[in-house]
Amino acid sequence: MREERRIKVLVVDDDQHFRNLATGLLEKCGFEVSSVGTGEEALYWIRNNDIDVAVLDLRLPDFDGNELLRSFKIIRPDLEVIILTGYGTMRSALLAMREDVFEYLTKPCSTELLAEVICKAAAKKASPMCARWYNIWAGSELKEGYSEK
């Protein structure tokens, strides 16, 4: 029997605390997670690694998130990108939608919602793990989601 392939997620956020928390929670949900704090690191990671879904903050120290989203889509047209920002605006949401972002979420965001959106995004790659995502976190401390900082 072959081993099930885990969904590979890249979290791009300049907030180290958030990256650590998101990485830990998403790993408990069964995802294979990597995280970076700058746009340059994200571009390097996207070019050199097989990633299914990127979770992208819009405010980074070295890049505008929408510019980075455009670069992601040029480098990897098949990459699904989820915007997760603490500074959501109608303008940034519209710009992201024009770039074919999979979903636009604002912080704080529950782990349940983020896991669901990641699975929906990765479902295009037909991962059987997505059909069972609820069972991975149900009944655990993950129900609490991301609310502390």
Q: What confidence tens digit (pLDDT) does each residue in 131-140 have?
A: 455 445 444 4
CB 105 within 8 A of CB 83: yes
- 51-107 pLDDT, tens per residue? 999 999 999 999 988 899 999 999 999 899 999 998 888 888 888 888 889 999 998
Residue 78 has a pLDDT of 87
Q: Which domains does the chain have, with CATH numbers?
A: 8-139 (3.40.50.2300)
At residue 35, does pLDDT exceed 60? yes
Above 90 in pLDDT, residue 30? no
Average pLDDT, integer, range 106-111:
87
CA gap 98, 92 in Å, rounded: 10
Structure tokens given for 134:
């609820």
pLDDT at 125: 59
Report the chain's mean pLDDT, rounded to a whole number.
Answer: 83
Q: Kindly write down the DSSP assignment for every residue of the chain, as one continuous string.
A: -PPPPPPEEEEE-S-HHHHHHHHHHHHHTT-EEEEESSHHHHHHHHHHS--SEEEE-SB-SSSBHHHHHHHHHHH-TT-EEEEEESS--HHHHHHHHHTT-SEEEESS--HHHHHHHHHHHHGGGT-GGGGGHHHHHTTSGGGG-S---
**Prediction pTM value:** 0.80
